[in-house]
Structure 1
Amino acid sequence: MAYLRGLARSAQLLGLAVLVFVAFLGSIVLMCAVIVAGMEQARRLTGYCRRLFGGWLGREIPEWYRPAPGPPQPDEEGMYRHESTLYHSPRWPAYFSRMQWLADDPASHRDFAWQALFPLVVLLLVPIGLPVAPLTVRAVAAWSARRLAPSTKVKRPKRSDAVLLAWARCGLLLLSALTQVVLFGLSLLCLVLGMGLGIVFLVPVGLTHFRWLVNLRRQYAGWAGQRIERPYKPRLRPELRPDGLYRVGNTLYKTESMAEFGARWHWVWHDLAAWRDLVWLPADALVTGVLAGLPVLFGVYGAFGLALPWIWTTAFGAEWSGWYGAVAGNRLAALPTGVALVAAALALPPLVLPLISRWSALLLRPTAKEELRRRVERLTQTRADAVDAQAAEVRRIERDLHDGAQARLISVGLTLGAIERLMDTDPDAARRLVAQARETSQAALTELRDLVRGIHPPVLSERGLPDAVRALALDTAAEVTVAGRLPGRLAAPVESAAYFAVSELLANAVRHGRAEHVTVDIRHREGRLRVTVTDDGEGGADPSRGTGLRGIERRLGTFDGTLALHSPQGGPTVATLELPCALSSPKTSTS
């Protein structure tokens, strides 16, 4: 009975291998356009396998997926933000956040690697292990349980997982290249109909309908560390003139609808990035198709064209051909050739992906002129923010002085006048007023010290940024560890901006994230100050939901600095501040 049950389960494993292989290919195919649906369907099949193998082994295989992100929240303008783009509707931000949640989940990575390996393991072990079917089935189930169980290593994924992930990314890029060929044909059709037959509304469509794929490929370049900003010019808006006409550039329109079309036409037609995207479609399809297609071709043909057919024909005496399961008509040469092709397919993707990312950055990054325009806009905006922040700070200081220290000093003056009148007539009352004046002056002095500390902490001026952050950590409710050192002193404005940014991040980690431990790392490399604040809180921090993080961005933007935030639901939260600056004299404080 045990052997018959093992045979039945072996047949069930073969059927599951086919389903998992189809789901794996379906995930790759759907990943380009509807990644959420593809990965969620694959998760359902993987969940069924967890329950099935857990029943065979007599133990539960837990699911360890991260919690799903919450719905996007509108900002004060009613817009919904995802990264650096604002949307009028929450649909796309919710879609992108869910896609990022699925893609960044370590459990998804392990599921994806298991789906790639499971059909190969079943097809290799089950047919050969039919004489000992119960043991073979249990071995496959135990291996799957180990692969699908929660990972015990959090910091570094296994090399096999990284290689399989790189191979899957090559397959996704190859699918993108095939899609680009189709989209380029549609663009040419739109341009020919628009310019040749006068169907002018198709021209903007022909230059923008594929922009979703271009932006997706810009994100994919981050796999190899390439950061590609979107280079498009701001969209034009028609200007309503006093005479009731709408102006777009040097053209006047009578109706708003025609003006909107003219603005869109002018915006797309005169944007160099749109034409560069059009050139990128066929050029990248060729380059990416060659670079990413070779590993995929080697892997598919080596595994399913040579190695597996050789095993099948040799073990069961099935018919074979000169193309599958043989090399130049020789079956003995098929297995080593297939293994060599699979090894080459697994070794090439980590080398190919950086080349594709650099190639994408070459065509898709903003031009020098566009970067200069963006820098001017950013500096103009940060200068306005700095002026507004300075004016608000001056008003706060004036209010604090007027309502606090100034009122107490006036009270001290009035008390001294009363003491002068009572010195001869009532000395006891005069002494009591002297004590009261002393207490009032001490309170005024304390308020002035607090006010000065809020403007610029003395410890920051005396001992520098690292020691000032350590002093700040002592007043924080959570346990704060400060690491790193600076071989010199920063400019005072840069120190102040970094100090108050770290202060705001620590306050947010305790107040909103309920963090118990926070790590602050301070480094200076290659002319840039880099401060990384990591906490073990609940995560979910979003600059669009509050003014604190936006205030940090404005404060850093004054010095051309940036704030990079990674805060998934459930944590941890990692905030990285970067400020271009130089070091002056060496610091005098100890660590």
Structure 2
Amino acid sequence: MTYPRSLLRAAVLAGMTVVVLVQFAAQLVLMVPGVLLGMVFLLPPPIHAGRVLVSRWRRMFANWTGRTVPVPYEPPPPPPEPDEEGLYRHESTLYKSPRFPAFFHRLDWLMKDPATKRDLSWAFWFPVLGLLPLALAAGPLLLALWTWVWGPPWGLPGEPSSGAWWATAWTALWERPAWLAALSVPGLVALPWTVGAVARWSAWLLAPGVRRPPSAKRVEQTLLAWVRCAMLVACAAAEVVLLAVSLACFGLGFGLGLVFLIPVANSHFRWLANMRRQFAEWGGVRIPRPYTPQLRPELRPDGLYRVKNNLYKTETMATFNANWQWTWNDIASWRDLVWLAADPVVTVALVGAPVAAVVYGGWGLVFPWVWTELFDADWSAWYGAVAGHRTLGLLVGLALVAAGLAVPRPLLVAHAWWTALLLRPTKAAAAEAALRERVERLTQTRTDALDAQAAEVRRIERDLHDGAQARLIAVGLTLGAIERLMDTDPAAARKLVAQARETSATALTELRDLVRGIHPPVLSERGLGDAVRALALDTAAEVNVAGELPGRPPAPVESAAYFAVSELLANATRHGGAERIGIDLRHRDGVLRITVTDDGDGGANPSRGTGLRGIERRLGTFDGTLTIHSPPGGPTVATLELPCALSSPKTSTS
């Protein structure tokens, strides 16, 4: 790269910093209300506008570096499709119109795309790095010219008040502008390298599938662990305030008879306890919520409200007593209260030390040393100094920061176990919650099975009415015409006989196809493995089926697995454009596991369509699960798991 071109590109980068800074600020101004105030309609426009500008920079950096920088954005979601009832679904909400689901699908596509985060990260850092090449090359020269004409900028520096060697050198630079201008020489020599480094960094960050080096990941994990420890300390401070509120509510409730405050004293801090249960996952511990379902008053036919064995005339009093009994009798409330009293002490003892070490080491020692030495400010002998020496204080401060950043990760694990000690459910509560969850899941799967069965019956009726039934009626009408023409026009009757034979054959074919759609004969005769291989032969893509089953699953499970694989093959070829598909069948530890892998475009998401949701509902009837890993660009890996036992491997040929 020639020096004139390098200087021109450095100027272009410096000009871009202003544009990118304005772009990033405008995006923040529009996105902050959208995120914090729930005004989600403000989110898509700035992201779209940012993508347009970033795409221009991406092409420019591709030309500068001589490499291809592909567009990293995921493909846009397809239009939402209605379900059997004509409704449009987004997550757990149904809509009559596709307008809102389409908007939310597009919003998820924009906000959850990793490329959006990379674009924002590049826009955040580029105003600093983009100005660096020109600043290194021309900055000292411009400062020297300024000093020659108007004197040192900002009135600096005066006479050095410190005898340090670097303070003397700093003052000498401003007294001799030629020395200052000489600092531009290294920047000019390194200009092609710095411009190329900024361009390569931008092309790397704006390309798809950026992988950070392991060292950067370790640094990020270390800093993140310390930030989490600081958050736990902040939560401990909030717990002290909430404990004081609980004690005040108990005192007013029992002392002055303000009994309506007693349920508040037992439950107002549950939000913080639930948040801390989520924080326990930082240490690899999952803590489910232990609370019993909220007690609701029941309206009786006589107009009274019942709460357990008590009757109330008004709904207000019934609701209050239900809330009282719900919080007072729930052992989880009292465990939360014990945790609220003990956790501030334990948290500060466990994770407070690294937080204090980094804060005091960074602020109390390092920063005052830099402040006093660089800016010749006053300093105190005890603040930022050790034994009266600031240099020794700097070393101690750096050691404190290093020690504070080295220990948070194991301390988070220990703190998570402490949190689980009091905030996890008891064995009885866990068993009750598991039973409750099981009943809810069985209720949901039963409803899904009934809905699927009703939809299947409607489909069969529709196919019979529109297909085979219509053709059989046509055959009957044709036979009537043949009967009338038999004596008067035998030639026409023979033509009608051929037409009736063709129509009956078509009706028979449609009936066979309908039967295969209900339960394929190959599945009944040969089992799941051969039925899947038959599906592979009928698929346009190249399909490889591996694995064997030592027996046969129950017929309903076998049918559900067959149709799930059929739907996945259709999706891979129709929507993903796959050319090669692999199917692996295994049965291990009482679970039938089928893995379908294709080399398609990826981006499969059950929340965007009804096909994958239908598979989930079909498998859910048998406690089965569907797991999909489908990054943009592929490959897509779909795993079906169905708990079942296998019967004898013998098959029937009848």
TM over 0.5: yes
Confirm or deny: 8 A CA contact 2:236 2:347 kept in the other structure.
Answer: no
Cα distance in 1, alignment partners of residues 546 and 348 from structure 2:
45
* Matched ranges for 1:42-53 at <5 A: none
Cα distance in 2, alignment partners of residues 276 and 480 from structure 1:
59
Relative to structure 1, is the Cα distance of residues 65 and 514 closer, same or farther in structure 2, using a 3 angstrom cutoff? closer
1:497 partner amino acid:
A
1:390 partner amino acid:
Q
Corresponding residue to 2:513 among 431, 450, 455: 450
Q: Give the aligned partner of residue 374 of structure 1.
A: 437
The alpha carbon displacement at 1:489 in A equals 4.7
Q: Give the aligned partner of residue 494 of structure 1.
A: 557
Corresponding residue to 1:244 among 300, 303, 315: 303
Confirm or deny: 8 A CA contact 1:173 1:288 kept in the other structure.
Answer: no
Confirm or deny: 8 A CA contact 2:478 2:496 kept in the other structure.
Answer: yes
**TM (normalized to structure 1)?**
0.64
Answering whether residue 160 of structure 2 is matched by residue 105 of structure 1, we say: no
Q: Give the aligned partner of residue 165 of structure 1.
A: 220
Relative to structure 1, is the Cα distance of residues 470 and 291 closer, same or farther in structure 2, using a 3 angstrom cutoff? farther
Cα distance in 1, alignment partners of residues 268 and 242 from structure 2:
4
The alpha carbon displacement at 1:73 in A equals 13
Number of equivalenced pairs:
551
* Matched ranges for 1:35-434 at <5 A: 105=114, 108=117, 132=186, 149-151=203-205, 154=209, 157-198=212-253, 199-200=261-262, 202-203=264-265, 205-210=267-272, 213-214=275-276, 216-217=278-279, 220-221=281-282, 224=284, 230-278=289-337, 342=402, 345=405, 363-364=423-424, 367-401=430-464, 403-409=466-472, 412=475, 427-434=490-497
Q: Deviations over 1:444-484 (max 9, x none)?
A: 2211221122112344456655665565466667x576675
2:298 partner amino acid:
E
Q: Which runs of 5+ in 2 are unaligned?
A: 15-31, 48-52, 95-99, 129-135, 137-165, 167-182, 254-260
2:436 partner amino acid:
R
1:180 partner amino acid:
C
Relative to structure 1, is the Cα distance of residues 342 and 331 closer, same or farther in structure 2, using a 3 angstrom cutoff? same
Q: Deviations over 1:330-358 (max 9, x none)?
A: 97998799589749946x66666666666
Relative to structure 1, is the Cα distance of residues 212 and 73 closer, same or farther in structure 2, using a 3 angstrom cutoff? farther
The alpha carbon displacement at 1:370 in A equals 0.9
Cα distance in 1, alignment partners of residues 454 and 302 from structure 2:
39
Cα distance in 1, alignment partners of residues 437 and 639 from structure 2:
22
Confirm or deny: 8 A CA contact 1:68 1:569 kept in the other structure.
Answer: no
Confirm or deny: 8 A CA contact 1:244 1:254 kept in the other structure.
Answer: yes
The alpha carbon displacement at 1:102 in A equals 6.5
The alpha carbon displacement at 1:161 in A equals 3.2
Cα distance in 2, alignment partners of residues 273 and 99 from structure 1:
36
Confirm or deny: 8 A CA contact 1:405 1:444 kept in the other structure.
Answer: yes
Confirm or deny: 8 A CA contact 1:109 1:161 kept in the other structure.
Answer: no
For the aligned residue pairs, the C-alpha RMSD in angstroms reads 6.7
Q: Give the aligned partner of residue 615 of structure 2.
A: 552
Q: Give the aligned partner of residue 150 of structure 2.
A: none
Cα distance in 1, alignment partners of residues 458 and 77 from structure 2:
40
Cα distance in 1, alignment partners of residues 230 and 217 from structure 2:
20
Cα distance in 2, alignment partners of residues 565 and 99 from structure 1:
17
* Matched ranges for 1:553-568 at <5 A: 553-564=616-627
Q: Which runs of 5+ in 1 are unaligned?
A: 13-29, 120-125
Cα distance in 1, alignment partners of residues 277 and 329 from structure 2:
19
Indicate the larger mover: 202-211 or 298-307: 298-307
The alpha carbon displacement at 1:244 in A equals 3.3
For the pair shown, the structure with the greater C-alpha radius of gyration is 2
The alpha carbon displacement at 1:560 in A equals 1.1
The alpha carbon displacement at 1:377 in A equals 2.4
2:235 partner amino acid:
Q
Corresponding residue to 1:435 among 491, 495, 498: 498
Cα distance in 2, alignment partners of residues 312 and 195 from structure 1:
50
Cα distance in 2, alignment partners of residues 291 and 173 from structure 1:
13
Q: Percent of aligned pairs with the same residue?
A: 48
Q: Give the aligned partner of residue 170 of structure 2.
A: none
Q: Give the aligned partner of residue 580 of structure 1.
A: 643
Cα distance in 2, alignment partners of residues 132 and 527 from structure 1:
70
Cα distance in 2, alignment partners of residues 460 and 476 from structure 1:
17
Q: Give the aligned partner of residue 21 of structure 1.
A: none
Q: Deviations over 1:232-276 (max 9, x none)?
A: 544444433333344444444444455555554444445555555
Relative to structure 1, is the Cα distance of residues 300 and 68 closer, same or farther in structure 2, using a 3 angstrom cutoff? farther
**Which SS does the other structure have where 2:513 is aligned?**
helix
Q: Give the aligned partner of residue 20 of structure 1.
A: none
Relative to structure 1, is the Cα distance of residues 452 and 99 closer, same or farther in structure 2, using a 3 angstrom cutoff? closer
Confirm or deny: 8 A CA contact 1:459 1:467 kept in the other structure.
Answer: yes
Cα distance in 1, alignment partners of residues 476 and 302 from structure 2:
65
1:179 partner amino acid:
A
Relative to structure 1, is the Cα distance of residues 172 and 332 closer, same or farther in structure 2, using a 3 angstrom cutoff? closer
The alpha carbon displacement at 1:164 in A equals 2.7
1:383 partner amino acid:
R
Confirm or deny: 8 A CA contact 1:517 1:535 kept in the other structure.
Answer: yes
2:513 partner amino acid:
D
The alpha carbon displacement at 1:581 in A equals 3.1
Q: Deviations over 1:479-526 (max 9, x none)?
A: 576675345455132232233234445556677x66566866646454
**Which SS does the other structure have where 1:367 is aligned?**
helix
Relative to structure 1, is the Cα distance of residues 290 and 334 closer, same or farther in structure 2, using a 3 angstrom cutoff? same
Cα distance in 2, alignment partners of residues 276 and 282 from structure 1:
10
Cα distance in 1, alignment partners of residues 71 and 353 from structure 2:
35
Corresponding residue to 2:547 among 466, 485, 504: 485
Confirm or deny: 8 A CA contact 1:488 1:587 kept in the other structure.
Answer: no
Relative to structure 1, is the Cα distance of residues 256 and 584 closer, same or farther in structure 2, using a 3 angstrom cutoff? same
Relative to structure 1, is the Cα distance of residues 353 and 189 closer, same or farther in structure 2, using a 3 angstrom cutoff? closer
Cα distance in 2, alignment partners of residues 568 and 135 from structure 1:
43
Cα distance in 2, alignment partners of residues 228 and 65 from structure 1:
36
**Which SS does the other structure have where 1:578 is aligned?**
strand
The alpha carbon displacement at 1:433 in A equals 3.4
**Which SS does the other structure have where 1:210 is aligned?**
helix
Cα distance in 1, alignment partners of residues 82 and 278 from structure 2:
24
2:244 partner amino acid:
L
Q: Deviations over 1:415-462 (max 9, x none)?
A: 567667866775434433332232122112211221122112344456
**TM (normalized to structure 2)?**
0.59
Q: Deviations over 1:28-60 (max 9, x none)?
A: xx9xx97999xx9xx9xxxx9xx99x999x969
Confirm or deny: 8 A CA contact 1:36 1:99 kept in the other structure.
Answer: no
**Which SS does the other structure have where 1:242 is aligned?**
coil
2:114 partner amino acid:
D
Cα distance in 2, alignment partners of residues 288 and 281 from structure 1:
11
Q: Deviations over 1:529-564 (max 9, x none)?
A: 254667865848454x76544433322221112344
2:625 partner amino acid:
T
